[in-house]
Structure 1
Amino acid sequence: MRSFRLIALALVGGATLACSGARTRAAPPEPIRITLVGINDFHGQVEPHRTPLKDGQVLEEGGAATLAAYVARLRADNPGGVVLLDAGDMFQGTLPSNLTEGAVVVDVYNHLGVTAAAIGNHEFDYGPVGPGSMAKRPGDDPLGALKARIGQARFPMLSANLRDAATGKPPDWTGNDGTYLLEVKGVKVGILGLSTEATPKVTNPANVESLRFLPLAPAALEASRSLRARGAEVVVAVAHAGGKCTDLNNPRDTSSCDQGDAEILSMVKRLPLGTLDAIVAGHTHQTMGHFFANVPIIETTGQARSLGVVELFVDPGSRRILPGRTRIQAAIPLCAKVDATQGTCDGRRLRDAPQVRLEPASFLAGPVVPDAKVAPLLAPALALAREAQHRQLGLVASAPLARGYTEEGVLGNLVADVLRASAKADVGLMNPGGVRADLPAGPLTFGQVFEALPFDNTVAVVTLTGPELARLLTLAYGNPMGAVFAVSGLEVTLERCPGAGRLSGVTLTGGQPLVFDPQKTYRVALPDFLARGGDGLEPLLRQVPPERIEMTPVNGLDLREALITYGKARGGTLEAPALGRVRYAGVAACPQAGR
């Protein structure tokens, strides 16, 4: 009897242990969380954007120190699980960055611990190391400044669709094949970079003559397959190619997204399902935070005003993404302080508020503390910039000079006049993307002129027949973004809706007809960027004989120098040209693209 009782107790105890073991095994392991943090189009914005308020305060938005604070909060929230990616155009655009040819940005990115970055079109802008944005002397390397930044960076700069024109292979100087494989919390994550196919049109074409930019989709597919063959369990693209979505409320609702001219969406449509697990996009300076073909895509307006986040969850057993768990946080504003009422640091919303009460911002249930270690990194570049910024030019703007982009702008007209007068040409033509800021009324400093004209473009002249000039203007105004080029010596009539065939009429100033006789020629002054085929003008300019294209007809004068010289020749005053060189015909409004 006693033996039976012992056996029974043993059986009961064994059953209890077995049940306990079953309960332990029944609890599945937690998925592995990977936090992708995306920034794009930084454009040298190491300092915050500053907006004077009506009550005397100065509002700050973004900048490197605040960006570092947000990245720190994200890393505290997911230790060891953050992948920080930049989608290109890191350098060009501010005095501190341009005076150091991007070195100050790489110092900041090294400090931030950037995982990888895409190579954007403006990464090629600086040309050789040192003054001058293009090779002019024997031994000058048109890729020298970019190579120097790659050598300085402690993170890879990637472009899987970039090829050396001579060999057809990825260039040796990038140090990679456009891909990067790393381990995050035990998960093998593959990163592939992509550059916009339009790069030769949106940088100085002379600097990329030795390179080719392949179509995105085939390059992404090849790179993804290579990464997965090397063991990648998650593949992410960081692409200097983007799109635009106006409504970020529902990441599954893409009805607000422009799908007509979205390079990144065109690529996704051409890829087999499962090629990419996420995309950090850029180039268009527009917001995205949506799923396309179940691929989460994020993009911000750039210039260090915000960042985007994609959280991926990986099953620890199958090592596959759990799509239903993926989360997107699009365009998170980078604020150290916010208005207590509106909860924002957006100067465009608060500049006219009668009173703003600023309070410290919080993020992920913790305070935002700007990184004090950033300031010493910036100090040498900021000292150079301050010296240049405040240098008086002996030049006064008689009235505010506002730039335009999708409409005619006073400053664009002035620059077109400057081009025409500097080269003693018949026509002046200025692309709106080359004018980056307004000029205020009053005495002007070099820094203000630099911010308006940050690119080192020189005055060039192209001699065209009447039909060729008409074709040039057709290409200029036929761009899908609706950009309105500034003209001098001409008056143009456009259809309201952007796209090919938008130009409906052109005359000389005062309505004098443009002569379309092939024997009649016109000297057209324009930035050398355009003369080399930039901004979509290449289809015509590649057919113009080289002897009719003068890249340095005015001793290599750049646009800033030309503007200053023009003003001083007129008594030191820049007058605001009248609007009315661009007129419109046809419908008053256009249907929204992508609807």
Structure 2
Amino acid sequence: MRSPRLVLVALVALSAACASTPSSTPPGVVGSTASAASAGPVRLTLVGLNDFHGHVEPGRTVLKDGQVVEEGGAATLAAYVARLRADNPGGVLLVDGGDLFQGTLPSNLTEGAIVVDVYNRLGVAAAAIGNHEFDYGPVGPASMPKGPGEDPLGALKARIQQARFPMLSANLRDAATGQRPAWTGNDGTALVTVKGVKVGLVGLTTESTPESTNPVNVASLRFLPLAPAALEGARSLRARGADVVVVVAHAGAKCPDLKNPHDTSNCDRGDSEILSMLDGLPPGTVDAVVAGHTHQAVGVFYRGVPVIETSGMARSLGVVELYVDPASHHVDSERTRLQAAIPLCAKVDAATSSCDARRLKEQPQVKLVQATFLGAPVVPDAEVERMLAPALKTAREAEARPLGISAAAPLTRGYVQESVLGNLLADAIRDTARADVALMNPGGIRADLPPGPLTFGQVYEVLPFDNTVAVLQLSGAELRRLLELATNTDRGAVFPVSGVELTLGKCPGPQRLQGVTLAGGAPLEPGKTYRVALPDFLARGGDGLQPLIQSLPPERVDLTPVRGMDLRDALVAYGKSRGGTLPTPALGRVRYTGVAECSGAVR
């Protein structure tokens, strides 16, 4: 891993080399044209976060020798931001590309309030509204409205009121009026001044939001195409005096090769919504992009625009250094530098300067020492740690609760391949509903399960969303159509199934589903009715299933939680019904045809 300190020290050196003799203009203030011309370029440090997903605590991994390596967390993040601000006083702009809340017990128990407290402390300038910002539904424990008086946007509105920074989505509209929702408190843009430079921020939300949150909670909203909204927002900001325009988007890219930021040949255009947006904008519309949603480390100049994104979970941040000519008020693009994903480490291995647990687990010897960043030791922010303490205490008590079940072996998840844990969850859902067939969305499985006795916290990490078990009554033809919608996408996702076996084409895309049989090989009968169990998120049309769901008569869609259970309850009950031990399902429910090599495909 390349040292982030070396990259940023080089950026600082470049800034110093470019500076000329200081003028009498006070620091951070752009003076007259004559004095500005002698002042040299203004350096702005754009710091990007994305897909925080409530990870206020560091990720912890026990190494072979018993040492615990930590990655990220809010207190360490605060330390890195403080060092960046010390390096460029008054010149740092911290923004977030969305999905701030959903994903951890400390965050979910407070409906994201603890995350907003942290972001207020960090001095975040703005955040995009992500698809998972809508997950909590009304204020309170229910994740969707249960009566006419409950607001499906209530929890999000409470977080917007709490935040001392704007939450932005320029492509968000009220479905009934076509207007921007008043509850956001803005038009999807914000204008801030940094070192005398007016910086415009345009927020965007992925168009796929209705498919990637509970559709009920966003039924009153529409998510417009990104490029027109970005263009309108940028033009409005320029008209209001913006010298620099930055898009902060919960829409991302997949450009896995970080070695050469000017090489875009490795970018997967099937999973790069933000690059498609840039293709639709005239040159010069925006000066930088902080992206999100795809959980991919990205650091690329696309059509001359620097684009950064991290893998999320508060384990890294991205930086773009912009230099603004004080006379022309334009970004000097030749000076722009970026760093895609700077790891957030309080301690690192002395030999490798890394806190990457996957890497350190393979090393025969690890010596953890205090990390340094920009020439100073990294000291986690004590005030942030104090702020987190009450929420973490409550979460610890809930997490430690034993469930009375064990895993006989490690149960691992997958997204673009069949997985043992996915099969187990599909079996549990099917068993709970006494169904013929079950389907699970792979994006809802967020962690692996270790062997041994399990606690609530371990199961919660796997299933952090409060989805329940729903049931559809489908003909054989409709069931095949459901599976086609689940598998025939460009994302390459493989949905865990139970009760059926699938044959898929090697490459993601249309017509990927080649065959469906019942478990054991019997064919589906087109006219026969099958009882199909699945998470209510899917039964409401999530993950692209809406075309089939909306065609079904209401009496064949039962959203009432089966036996009152959410998915966590279903998994625990399944284990208890088998003597307290979760079985380890065999693989083989998904087979592949073809041998073609596919970009970003299943391998």
TM-score by length of 1: 0.94
Q: 2:269 aligns with which of 228, 242, 259?
A: 259
Contact 1:120/1:283, CA 8 A, preserved across alignment: yes
The aligned counterpart of 1:400 is: 410
The aligned counterpart of 2:367 is: 357
The aligned counterpart of 1:20 is: none
Q: 1:194 aligns with which of 172, 193, 204?
A: 204
Q: Aligned to 1:511, what secondary structure does the other structure show?
A: coil
Q: Does 1:367 align with 2:395?
A: no
Contact 2:270/2:491, CA 8 A, preserved across alignment: no
The aligned counterpart of 1:568 is: 576
Q: Does 1:49 align with 2:54?
A: no
The aligned counterpart of 2:26 is: none
Q: Aligned to 2:412, what secondary structure does the other structure show?
A: coil
User: Which 4+ stretches in 1 moved above 6 angstroms?
Assistant: 24-27
Q: Does 1:428 align with 2:445?
A: no
Contact 2:268/2:599, CA 8 A, preserved across alignment: no
Q: 1:330 aligns with which of 340, 348, 354?
A: 340
Q: 2:328 aligns with which of 307, 318, 336?
A: 318
Return the offset for 1:563. Answer: 1.2
Return the offset for 1:441. Answer: 1.4
Q: 1:528 aligns with which of 517, 536, 545?
A: 536
Return the offset for 1:166. Answer: 1.2
Structure-2 separation of matches of 1:546 and 1:25: 70
Paired residue type of 1:37: V
Structure-2 separation of matches of 1:93 and 1:307: 18
Q: Does 1:208 align with 2:218?
A: yes
Q: 1:244 aligns with which of 254, 263, 266?
A: 254
The aligned counterpart of 1:544 is: 552
The aligned counterpart of 2:228 is: 218
Return the offset for 1:588. Answer: 5.8
Q: Aligned to 1:260, what secondary structure does the other structure show?
A: helix
Higher-Rg structure is 1
Q: 1:153 aligns with which of 163, 181, 185?
A: 163
Structure-1 separation of matches of 2:159 and 2:37: 49
Structure-1 separation of matches of 2:184 and 2:116: 15
Structure-1 separation of matches of 2:224 and 2:119: 27
Structure-2 separation of matches of 1:278 and 1:421: 50
Query: For residues 200-228 of structure 1, what are the alpha-carbon distances to aligned partners after superposition, in whole Å with 9 as ceiling and x for unaligned?
Result: 00000000001000000001111111111
Q: Aligned to 1:471, what secondary structure does the other structure show?
A: helix
Paired residue type of 1:538: Q
Q: Aligned to 1:448, what secondary structure does the other structure show?
A: helix
Structure-2 separation of matches of 1:553 and 1:159: 33
Q: 1:133 aligns with which of 116, 140, 143?
A: 143
Structure-2 separation of matches of 1:562 and 1:266: 40
Structure-2 separation of matches of 1:103 and 1:208: 21
Higher mean C-alpha displacement, 397-406 vs 429-438: 397-406
Contact 1:41/1:87, CA 8 A, preserved across alignment: yes
- Percent identity between matched residues is 72
The aligned counterpart of 2:110 is: 100
Higher mean C-alpha displacement, 241-250 vs 107-116: 241-250
Higher mean C-alpha displacement, 216-225 vs 396-405: 396-405
Contact 1:475/1:500, CA 8 A, preserved across alignment: no
Q: Aligned to 2:255, what secondary structure does the other structure show?
A: coil
Paired residue type of 1:371: D
Q: Does 1:496 align with 2:523?
A: no
Query: For residues 95-123 of structure 1, what are the alpha-carbon distances to aligned partners after superposition, in whole Å with 9 as ceiling and x for unaligned?
Result: 10111111111111000000000000000
Structure-1 separation of matches of 2:561 and 2:129: 32
Q: Aligned to 2:414, what secondary structure does the other structure show?
A: coil
Structure-1 separation of matches of 2:564 and 2:519: 28
Contact 1:396/1:573, CA 8 A, preserved across alignment: yes
Compared with structure 1, are the counterparts of its residues 515 and 97 closer, same or farther at alpha carbon in structure 2 (3 Å cutoff)?
A: same
Paired residue type of 1:435: I
Return the offset for 1:586. Answer: 1.0
The aligned counterpart of 1:580 is: 588
Higher mean C-alpha displacement, 224-233 vs 36-45: 224-233
Compared with structure 1, are the counterparts of its residues 142 and 25 closer, same or farther at alpha carbon in structure 2 (3 Å cutoff)?
A: closer
Compared with structure 1, are the counterparts of its residues 359 and 513 closer, same or farther at alpha carbon in structure 2 (3 Å cutoff)?
A: same
Query: For residues 309-359 of structure 1, what are the alpha-carbon distances to aligned partners after superposition, in whole Å with 9 as ceiling and x for unaligned?
Result: 011111111111111111111101111111111111000100132210112
Return the offset for 1:440. Answer: 1.3
Contact 2:270/2:490, CA 8 A, preserved across alignment: no
Return the offset for 1:416. Answer: 0.8
The aligned counterpart of 1:33 is: 43
Higher mean C-alpha displacement, 346-355 vs 24-33: 24-33
Structure-2 separation of matches of 1:25 and 1:32: 13
Contact 2:131/2:209, CA 8 A, preserved across alignment: yes
Q: Aligned to 2:562, what secondary structure does the other structure show?
A: coil
Q: Aligned to 2:271, what secondary structure does the other structure show?
A: coil
TM-score by length of 2: 0.92
Compared with structure 1, are the counterparts of its residues 49 and 553 closer, same or farther at alpha carbon in structure 2 (3 Å cutoff)?
A: closer
Structure-1 separation of matches of 2:125 and 2:284: 23
Q: Aligned to 1:235, what secondary structure does the other structure show?
A: strand
Query: For residues 50-90 of structure 1, what are the alpha-carbon distances to aligned partners after superposition, in whole Å with 9 as ceiling and x for unaligned?
Result: 11111221111111111111100110111111100000001
Structure-2 separation of matches of 1:102 and 1:591: 36
The aligned counterpart of 1:411 is: 421
Q: 2:516 aligns with which of 500, 506, 521?
A: 506
Structure-1 separation of matches of 2:195 and 2:490: 43
Contact 1:423/1:553, CA 8 A, preserved across alignment: no
Paired residue type of 2:234: S
Unpaired stretches in structure 1, ≥5 consecutive residues:
1-23
Aligned residue runs from structure 1 range 474-485, under 5 A: 474-485=484-495
Paired residue type of 2:569: E
Structure-2 separation of matches of 1:357 and 1:554: 50
Q: Aligned to 2:461, what secondary structure does the other structure show?
A: helix
Return the offset for 1:298. Answer: 0.3
Return the offset for 1:569. Answer: 2.2
Structure-2 separation of matches of 1:173 and 1:361: 42
Contact 1:418/1:562, CA 8 A, preserved across alignment: yes
Return the offset for 1:259. Answer: 2.0
The aligned counterpart of 2:389 is: 379
Return the offset for 1:195. Answer: 0.2
Structure-1 separation of matches of 2:463 and 2:134: 17
Return the offset for 1:496. Answer: 1.4
Higher mean C-alpha displacement, 283-292 vs 548-557: 548-557
Q: Does 1:144 align with 2:154?
A: yes
Return the offset for 1:137. Answer: 2.7
Structure-2 separation of matches of 1:87 and 1:140: 28
Compared with structure 1, are the counterparts of its residues 550 and 592 closer, same or farther at alpha carbon in structure 2 (3 Å cutoff)?
A: closer
Structure-1 separation of matches of 2:196 and 2:600: 45
The aligned counterpart of 1:229 is: 239
